[in-house]
Each structure stands twice: as structure tokens, then as C-alpha cells.
A = this chain, B = another copy of it.
Amino acid sequence: MVVLEDLSLTILAGRITCIIGPSGCGKSTLLRLFGGLERPSEGQILQSGEAPAGCLNPLTYVFQDFALLPWRSVAGNVSLVLEDHGVRGATRHDVIADVLARTKLADFHDALPKQLSGGMKQRVAIARALAVNPAVMLLDEPLSALDAQTRELLMDDLIALWTRQPFTGIYVTHNLAEAARLGHQIVVLSRRPGRLRDVVELALPLTDRHPGQADLEALQTRLWELMREEAEAADQELSHV
């Protein structure tokens, strides 16, 4: 089955690229290709330039369902990705303390995932991703398992994190509001097989964007018009499991 076809994309360093498209169009597959978790049957993914100093894992994911180890505490989950890269002792301790502080998790150092709300779990996943100092963050619908209010809160947190220290992000989402809030560049894919429909550039700095802002709303409406028909078709599809 062809999932993605005839797709050529350039991701900009230090900016957030949002990828939107109807259900099943291959967004997650594309992201897995970016991160080396999937092998393309044709074509290739190239990375250029050097990873920043202290980068343990250049291409780092944040998953929709958090992917926390339930048997490890918050700190343990962050520690997991440091252990294998030989970060030990005081250094490890410091890195963990730093990323937990940046994601407002300092008080939850020893909590188990089951005790946390969804928003907190995703913060842990973000802290874990930050801990390896990635060159590119690959975020696969990081907010869609959360309720609308928590989503708002986390969007603010992401903007704050990016503002403090800009990272290269590829952010897959269904949510046009998220794309309009977080994207420097919005890539719109068509239905399966996913092809490039449009690429929208947004010059407005992230910190100047607010929910309910008129131009962002207009952009959203434009994107929605672009996609509505395809979203409907995707919705009506019968899967032949």
C-alpha cells in the first residue's frame, strides 16, 4: 500500500514546521520516516549540518500517548534515555533536575505515571525529549490525547520553551488552531496517498499569537476550507480489517 507519494519537503532549522492533513493520510508515517523508525520503499530522508554540542539523540520524538514507562518514576523516565548514552552520577542528576524544572515538574520527581494527569504525563515526555538535547523534536499529535483546557495550557508551555531556547520542531496535528498557534511553516497534506497540498509560511512571532486572534482565525478558516472535503471523505472511509 502506498501511503506517501511524490513528497519533497525541507524542514527549517530553529523553526517549527506543522504538518496537517486528514486522518490516515500518512502524517505519522512521515514522522516515523524522519526519525528513522520506518524505512522508505523509495526516496530518502537527508539530514544536513552537524548536531549541536551535547546532543545525545539528534532526532527525538514526543508521542501522542506519552510512551512513559509506567514502572518508572518521573525522574526514572527521564533517566532512562540518559543511561544508555553514558550520562552518569551528578551530571545525570543535574540534567534531570534541569529539564524537570523547565517543564514545571520539579515537585513530581518521584511520582509514578499513574498518579499524573494527562497534561503532566505529556510534560514528562517533553522533559525526557529535552534531556537528550535534540537537534530536531518530532512531535506526533502531542496534545490530542489531552482535554481542550490542558491543551491550551501545554501550548503555552511549548511556546515558552521554544522562546527560551528555540528548537527545530516538526509538529504533526489534526488541529488547525494548534498549527496556527505553533507553526512557522504549515505543511498541508492530501488524503492517502499523502501528497503535498500546500505550504503556508507564518511570519508572526510565536509570542505575539493569541487564541482568538483575527488573522490566525482567518488562516484557520482558509486551511479548513482547503481540507474540509478531504476530511469528510477520510471520515467516511470503511476500513477492511
Contact = CB atoms under 8 A, between A and B. Distances in A.
A239 interface: yes
A234 interface: yes
B115 A150 contact: no
Contacts of A150: 23, 174, 231, 235
B120 A149 contact: no
Which of A116, A176, A228, A236 is the most central at the interface, judged by chain B CB atoms within 10 Å of its CB? A236
Nearest to A218: B212
Number of contact residues on A: which range applies? 35 or more
Nearest to A24: B117
A17 interface: no
A232 interface: yes
Given A173-B148, A221-B211, A231-B150, A238 B23 contact: no
A209 interface: no
A220 interface: yes
A240 interface: yes
The majority secondary structure among interface residues of chain A is helix
B175 A148 contact: yes
B174 A239 contact: no
A23 to B, nearest CB: 6
Interface string A204-241: 00000001101001101100100110011011111111
Interface in A17-53: 22-23
Most buried by B among A115, A148, A152, A178: A148
A153 B234 CA distance: 11
A179 to B, nearest CB: 9
Given A22-B149, A117-B236, A148-B175, 12 more contacts: A23-B147, A23-B149, A114-B241, A115-B238, A147-B175, A148-B178, A152-B224, A152-B231, A211-B217, A212-B217, A212-B221, A217-B217
12 contacts: A23-B150, A108-B238, A119-B235, A149-B224, A149-B227, A149-B228, A153-B232, A153-B235, A211-B221, A211-B224, A212-B217, A212-B220
